[in-house]
């Protein structure tokens, strides 16, 4: 495939708006399962353990698809791959809407997981069709609307499922995705491939296997009950897959991930900062609802699932606002300053929460502030990385950051669960207050580690 050198066509606000609305619809479809899980379990006659497979399936698919989608976008053009990917997601949404049982629903969720690849593909398009300064604002808008879709999904899932059926809560967002994809395909100009090299499929397979093994292995270890020999075997298996992937990438004529790119300060520092912030945030995502729901002796609030959903609305709104602010602030002050401020706010809030959790408003405010700060930092990291690497590597570089964030949040939530499990009082079968305190302090310290990474970033970096 020939690679053109023609100047890309500039796009206006309608095209960016269409990308943003597509992100909103995707976020909505992604979020409808969480608030309606009890209804799904009852309707499909499955237990909590089987119900959790829905989340695991979506997570694993997203972690695998994101880097592949980014690489394919660099290779064949972002618009072309985005349309194909949205076709897969739409098929998954329709399959989920018609699912008569759990296996069919899981198959639909596997296809829906491809939506995670939409973000790096969108970044490819805005990088190619917008001036550098406007790129950061557009990245923030698309990321913020994807988060906003989560709020829409949480609010509409229950009413739709209860008043119509569970089938419609998948069908309605999917219809919006199909319609918006057609609009994007019409309004967004085609983008030329940045590379004509062949795809390193062995590298793709090994990276996918490494990510799957990492997530499943950590969940198995965190779940407890594994003997030391089994834990060592899981660790060795993940390490062997990662080593094999690195060896293949070093020898490949056209590697999926150029390891020299990973060695760039802008790339490895962004990845490390994203991981630390995501781990701390993932612990918060798990610990705050747990403390709201627990009714302990002098702590906890015994909140219902509906109450917790309302308590988390401010955090979701904060994530939406963060998308716009992050892009503008990165353009005005530089990504490094934005990331530093976000990391400081996250770490300080979590450490303060260890002692200040006597009222619901403190938990609600802390969850909203950390959600805002982490989102601002993550978007600034994505925007700076998108313009720091070569144009041909935009898709894969941003994909790796998206995957790092997804995996980091998942592992952080698991770590929070381990700490609460270790601090459970046998007499009451409830986590002790000290277990929550330890969790919040641990999350704050982990988030603070990102500040050490930020120090090595180029001062005054601007995209």
Residue 459 within a domain: no
With beta carbons less than 8 A apart as the criterion, state whether 195 and 3 touch: yes
Answer whether residue 194 is part of any domain.
Answer: no
- Please name which of 17, 35, 21 lies closest in space to residue 175, comparing C-alpha atoms: 21
Distance CA 118, CA 86 (A): 8
Are residues 245 and 262 located together in one domain of the fold? no
Cβ within 8 Å of residue 289, ≥6 positions away: 308, 312
Shared domain for 294 and 232, answered yes or no, is: no
- Are residues 79 and 26 part of one domain? yes
What does the CA dihedral 33, 37, 41, 46 come to, rounded to 10 degrees? 80
| Predicted pLDDT at 77 | 76
- Which of 209-213, 376-380, 393-397, 452-456 has the weakest average pLDDT? 393-397
H/E stretch holding 425: strand 424-425
In a domain, 222, yes or no: yes
247-257 mean pLDDT: 79
Q: Where are the alpha helices (DSSP H) in 223-312?
A: 228-251, 259-262, 265-293, 305-311
CATH number, domain with residue 309: 1.20.1250.20
Does the pLDDT at position 448 exceed 80? yes
- What is the mean predicted confidence (pLDDT) over 406-435? 81
Count of structural domains within the chain? 3
Residues 142 and 213 in one domain: no
Query: Tell me, what's the pLDDT at 1?
Result: 46
Residue 207 lies in a domain: yes
Q: 275 and 156, same structural domain?
A: no
4 in a structural domain? no
The CB density around residue 299, as the number of other CB atoms within 10 Å, is 17
Judge if 327 and 298 occupy the same domain: yes
Residues 235 and 311 in one domain: no
Q: Last residue of some domain: 187, 220, 237?
A: 187
Last residue of a domain, one of 255, 281, 296: 255
Which domain, by its residues, includes 29? 13-187
Between 1 and 181, whose confidence is greater? 181
Choose among 30, 35, 31: nearest CA to 304.
Answer: 35
The answer on 127 and 263 residing in a single domain is no
**Is position 219 within any domain?**
yes
Pair (405, 295) in one structural domain: yes
Residues 261, 397 contacting (CB under 8 angstroms): yes
pLDDT band at 129 (very low <50, low <70, confident <90, very high): low
What's residue 2's pLDDT? 44
Residue 436 domain flag = yes
For residue 239, count other CB atoms closer than 10 A to its CB.
Answer: 12
Query: 242 and 277 in one domain?
Result: no
As a whole number, the mean pLDDT across the chain is 79
pLDDT at residue 124, as a whole number: 72
Q: What is the reported pLDDT for 460?
A: 40
334-387 tens-digit pLDDT: 788 888 899 999 999 999 999 999 889 999 999 999 989 988 888 888 777 777
Using the 3D structure, point to which of 163, 187, 211 is the last residue of a domain.
187
Query: 424 with 284, same domain?
Result: yes
- What pLDDT digit, counting tens, does each position of 268-305 carry? 888 889 899 989 998 887 788 888 878 877 788 887 75
Q: Which parts of 115-251 are beta strand (E)?
A: none
Q: Determine, yes or no, domain membership for 460.
A: no
Q: Do 160 and 204 belong together in one domain?
A: no
């Amino acid at each position: 495939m020939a690679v053109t050198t023609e100047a890309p066509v500039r796009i206006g606000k309608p095209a960016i708006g269409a990308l943003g609305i597509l992100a909103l619809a995707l976020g909505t479809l992604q979020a409808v399962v969480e608030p309606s899980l009890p209804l799904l379990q009852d309707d499909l006659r499955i237990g909590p353990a089987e119900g959790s497979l829905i989340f695991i399936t979506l997570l694993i698919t997203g972690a695998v698809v994101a880097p592949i989608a980014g690489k394919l976008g660099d290779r064949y053009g972002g618009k072309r791959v985005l349309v194909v990917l949205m076709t897969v997601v739409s098929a998954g949404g329709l399959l989920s809407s018609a699912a008569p049982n759990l296996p069919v629903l899981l198959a639909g969720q596997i296809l829906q997981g491809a939506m995670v690849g939409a973000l790096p593909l969108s970044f490819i398009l805005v990088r190619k069709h917008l001036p550098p300064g406007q790129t950061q604002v557009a990245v923030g808008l698309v990321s913020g609307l994807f988060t906003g879709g989560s709020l829409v999904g949480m609010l509409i899932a229950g009413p739709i499922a209860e008043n119509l059926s569970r089938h419609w809560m998948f069908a309605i967002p999917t219809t919006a995705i199909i319609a918006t994809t057609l609009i994007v395909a019409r309004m967004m100009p085609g983008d030329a491939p940045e590379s004509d090299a062949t795809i390193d499929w062995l590298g793709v397979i090994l990276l996918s296997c490494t990510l799957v093994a990492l997530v499943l292995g950590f969940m198995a270890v965190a779940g407890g009950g594994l003997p030391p020999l089994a834990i060592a075997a899981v660790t060795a298996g993940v390490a062997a897959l990662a080593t094999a992937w690195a060896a293949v990438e070093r020898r490949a004529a056209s590697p999926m991930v150029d390891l020299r790119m990973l060695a760039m300060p802008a790339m490895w520092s962004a990845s490390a900062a994203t991981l630390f912030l995501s781990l701390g945030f993932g612990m918060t995502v798990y610990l705050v609802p747990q403390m709201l729901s627990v009714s302990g002796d002098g702590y906890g609030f015994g909140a219902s699932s509906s109450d917790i959903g309302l308590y988390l609305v401010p955090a979701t709104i904060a994530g939406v606002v963060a998308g716009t602010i992050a892009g503008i602030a990165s353009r005005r002050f530089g990504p490094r300053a934005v990331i530093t401020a976000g990391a400081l706010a996250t770490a300080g809030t979590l450490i303060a929460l260890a002692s200040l959790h006597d009222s619901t408003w403190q938990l609600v405010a802390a969850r909203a502030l950390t959600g805002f700060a982490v989102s601002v930092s993550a978007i600034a990291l994505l925007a700076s990385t998108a313009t720091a690497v070569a144009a041909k590597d935009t898709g894969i570089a941003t994909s790796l950051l998206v995957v790092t964030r997804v995996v980091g949040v998942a592992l952080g939530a698991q770590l929070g669960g381990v700490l609460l499990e270790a601090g459970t009082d046998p007499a009451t079968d409830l986590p002790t207050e000290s277990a929550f305190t330890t969790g919040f302090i641990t999350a704050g310290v982990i988030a603070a580690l990102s500040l050490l990474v930020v120090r090595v970033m180029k001062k005054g970096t601007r995209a």
